[in-house]
Structures are given as C-alpha cells and as structure tokens.
Amino acid sequence: MSSNSEFLQIGEEVAAALGEGRPVVALESTIISHGMPFPQNLDMARTVEADIRGQGAVPATIALMHGKMMAGVSGTDLEELAEKGFSAAKASRRDLAGLLAGKRLAGTTVATTMQIAHLAGIRLFATGGIGGVHRGAETTFDISADLQELGCAPVAVVCAGAKSILDIPKTLEVLETNGVPVLGYGTERFPAFYLRDSGHGVDYAVADAGEAASILQTQWALGMGGVLIGNPILEQDAMDADYINGVIARALSDADDEGIRGKDTTPFLLQRIFDLTGGESLKSNIALVRNNARVAADIAVALAGRRA
C-alpha cells in the first residue's frame, strides 16, 4: 500500500490509476462485513470487483483497517474483513475518530465511503441502495448520514435507489433540501432497491454513461457536492411489489417488537427480509450491486475520457 496521509492509505493499484487519470470506482464494505455471511460475502466482493475491471475501471474497496482509512482493500486484508464479518465495527461519519484511534477493523457505510473516496480523489462510487429517512422518523428522527454526506462530498453514487425499508418520499425531500441532484439512469422513475419503480420521479433522466458524465463534470466545475444516480435493478432480478412490500411490513413490525433502533435497524431488517424470503432477497441484492458496479464503471470511464 502507498501512504498518502496520517490516516489515509491508498492501494498501489488505485494510486497508480488515480495518478494516471484512469477510471476508479469506490466500493463500500458494510455489505461485506454486515451484509451477508462468509464466504458468500468474499465471493460477492471479488465478483463485483471483477465486474468493474471488466468495464475498464479499477475497483477501490474502502474500509478501516490498521488505524487507517484504506482505499483499495485487497488480498489478505479483504479476506480478513470478510471472515470477521459482524465482529467488525460499522463505521459511519461519527465513528471515524474513535475507530481510527482504537485501530479497529470496520466496514464503511455509504456516508463514510463517500468521505474517504473524496479524500482519496475518487469520484465514482457504487453501492446497493443508500440510507435515508426511516419510516416513523417524524418521532424517532432516524435519518441516515448518507443524505447529508451526499450534499457535501463531490462524489457520484450509483445505486438502486433507496432501500425499500425506508420512507422514500421523505428521503427524496431531504435530498432536495441538501441540494443533491437525483438522476435516473435510463429511467424517469426513482428505483426502490428490490423494485424498479418507487412511484416517484427523478430530477433528470440520463440515457447513457456519457450524458451522466457530462452532468457530473458540470456539477463539480461549479464547486458543488454529490450526485445520486438511481439505476433500476434489472427486470429479471426485481421482486414482485406486493410480495416484497408485505415482507417489509412484517420485518418492520418485528423490529418494532424487538426494540431495534438506530444503526442496528438496517442490518436487522435486511436479515429479517432474507429469512422471510428464503434467501431470494439476497439474490436480488447481489444482482443489483453488480449492475450498479458495471454502470458506475461505465460512467467513470466516460468521465475519465472527458477529462483527457
């Protein structure tokens, strides 16, 4: 690894790509540490990285390890993160100082991955779905730090919309308040993770990677923050709306019964949905992450071409 600051460490391959102006795509790591069991999580991580390479970009998995914010986790470090799983911490923005000072192993959330990607000079980031406003937030005030970070960090996040467990209308309202443009990749509708259409529109529909790259280049030339790119799950991987909405309602009720709150909510709900669907939700989850990674790589390639 090549060191870049006291707390940031960039992998040699990623550093070389950035130095040469080649396309790089950041990847979060809570999906590895908290999203699925070992060894499926390791297989998924390697597959998504291969998808990005296949589109002509360099993957940069981000995590906290050895007292460093690491951009480009690979080899035995990636294996360690996958094997430790839930015993690793879950790092959001507020956790960084404590976890780095304690040299704790941690997977990074969307917000923290955006922050570290920005520090490393990475502009594109692929994930499954962003966090947002949780249902019942009018009483719990449970709103993900992802939305605030999107308004600050000049990083484009390619995702399958917001997780279906969230209050999507309120999530879109907060994104608007934070000045975050919401693009639809090949669609005028905002996706909802397992579903291609949340029932809500986007700010701008883009037809391809080149059009998305043009907007991103303009956004950052203006000195503005992040951009959210909603990329719908492929039709063959989407779940039936009535079925998954019923499952989500059951999972939310179970979370309420067990008193699950705060950052434990999303992992609990995703695991409960996995159980209730007999593992089918995980298949959709992996498929949409891979689709997002490929699209993010295409946009990164187009953006690098425009810069050149």
List pLDDT tens digits, range 178-212. Answer: 999 999 999 999 999 999 999 999 999 999 999 99
- Answer yes or no: is pLDDT of 1 > 80: no
227-230 and 156-159 as β-strands: parallel, antiparallel, unpaired?
parallel
- Answer yes or no: is pLDDT of 276 > 60: yes
Distance CA 57, CA 240 (A): 33
pLDDT at 4: 54
Q: Give how many domains the chain has, as a whole number.
A: 1
Catalytic pick among 28, 49, 68, 90: 28
2 bridge partner residues: 10
- The CATH code of the domain that includes 263 is 3.40.1790.10
Q: Average pLDDT in the 281-291 region? A: 94
Give pLDDT tens digits for 97-114.
Answer: 999 999 999 999 999 999
- Answer yes or no: is pLDDT of 177 > 60: yes
pLDDT at 3: 47
pTM of the model: 0.94
Distances (CA, A) of 166 to 57, 124, 296: 31, 24, 23
Catalytic pick among 68, 84, 163, 258: 163
Distance CA 242, CA 154 (A): 37
Contact present, 132 and 171 (Cβ < 8 Å)? yes
Closest CA to 304 of 82, 152, 121: 121
**Across the chain, what does the average pLDDT equal?**
94
* Residue 163: active-site member: yes
Q: Average pLDDT in the 174-180 region? A: 97
Structural domain including 68 reads: 2-307
